[in-house]
């Protein structure tokens, strides 16, 4: 894909609303409830393969909590300390990559949250028991709600693309969809961003959305 297409097809910021749930509807509902204060659960752990959307959800629930008046802070695997207000929603991504010092820091954060009113939402690439972290930390990550984040299958991805196109007022042909899935970066936010760019390109050039138009955009 040429740089122009990359520049105009940046995916939107991750939110709970723009996450396509697929088989993750229960998980998404739990995160909505956590963000808006409707849940008393303090600990949620998300796990899934790269590209499943767990980092999207982690960032989205942190932003949603802020929108509902709760402080939040996002930490990544390079952190060595996890400090946040007592009532904050703390989001910790890629816990499988935490070094020994960071594991101790996360263990201590978990204990502080349990004794107070905060929330911890963490994510990793495996279920708690398969993380290879210190045993007491794995036990704590497993003690709350645990959800596997399932990737969209092909059928769900096609349905999401068609739904997004309909919302923007155009129809996707089967050949355009097939080309997108074969030749373009396949994570859904990137694909939806590209559809938005394709729609704008179609309107600017007063041409219908076809496979030749898509190829022209990608090579422009």
**Helices and strands (H, E) in the chain, number of each type:** 9, 5
Instruction: Compute φ and ψ for 42, nearest 5 degrees.
Output: -100, -15
Q: What is the DSSP letter of 88?
A: P
User: What is the average pLDDT score of the chain?
Assistant: 91
Domain 153-218 falls in which CATH fold? Helicase, Ruva Protein; domain 3 (1.10.8)
Query: Residue range 105-122: average pLDDT?
Result: 96
Average pLDDT of span 63-70: 97
pLDDT for residue 4: 44
**Mean pLDDT of the 115-138 span:** 96
Q: What is the pLDDT of residues 132-157, one digit of tens each?
A: 999 999 999 999 999 999 999 989 99
Please check whether the domain covering 25-148 is classified as CATH 3.30.70.260.
Answer: no
- Could you tell me which residues come within 8 angstroms of residue 162 by beta carbon, excluding any fewer than 6 positions away? 172, 177
Q: How far apart are CA 11 and CA 162, in angstroms?
A: 17
pLDDT digits (tens, 9 = 90+) for 68-103: 999 999 999 998 899 999 999 999 999 999 999 999
What does the pLDDT average to over 173-201?
A: 88
pTM for the predicted model, two decimal places? 0.84
Average pLDDT on 163-168 reads: 91
* pLDDT digit string, tens, across residues 19-42: 999 999 999 999 999 999 999 999
Lateral strand order in the sheet of 119-124: 72-75, 89-92, 119-124, 43-47, 145-148
What kind and span of H or E run contains 13?
Answer: none
- Banded pLDDT at 220 (limits 50, 70, 90): confident
Residues 6+ apart with CB under 8 A from 73: 62, 84, 88, 89, 90, 91
Q: Two tokens at 20?
A: 């396509």
The torsion angles phi and psi of 173, rounded to 5 degrees, stand at -80, 160
Domain ranges of the chain: 25-148, 153-218
């Amino acid at each position: 894909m040429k740089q122009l297409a990359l520049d105009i097809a940046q995916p939107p910021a991750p939110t709970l609303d723009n996450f396509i749930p697929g088989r993750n509807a229960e998980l998404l509902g739990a995160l909505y409830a956590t963000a808006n204060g409707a849940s008393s659960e303090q600990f949620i752990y998300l796990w899934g393969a790269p590209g499943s959307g767990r980092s999207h959800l982690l960032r989205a629930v942190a932003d949603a909590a802020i929108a509902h008046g709760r402080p939040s802070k996002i930490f990544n695997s390079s952190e060595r300390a996890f400090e946040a207000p007592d009532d904050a929603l703390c989001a910790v991504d890629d816990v499988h990559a935490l070094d020994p010092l960071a594991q101790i820091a996360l263990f201590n954060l978990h204990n502080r949250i349990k004794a107070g009113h905060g929330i911890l939402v963490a994510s990793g690439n495996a279920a708690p028991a398969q993380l290879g972290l210190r045993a007491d930390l794995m036990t704590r990550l497993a003690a709350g709600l645990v959800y596997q984040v399932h990737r969209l299958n092909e059928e769900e991805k096609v349905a999401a693309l068609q739904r997004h196109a309909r919302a923007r007022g155009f129809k996707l042909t089967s050949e355009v969809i097939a080309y997108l899935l074969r030749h373009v970066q396949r994570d859904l936010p990137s694909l939806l961003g590209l559809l938005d760019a394709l729609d704008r390109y179609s309107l600017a050039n007063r041409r219908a959305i076809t496979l030749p138009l898509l190829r022209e955009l990608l090579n422009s």
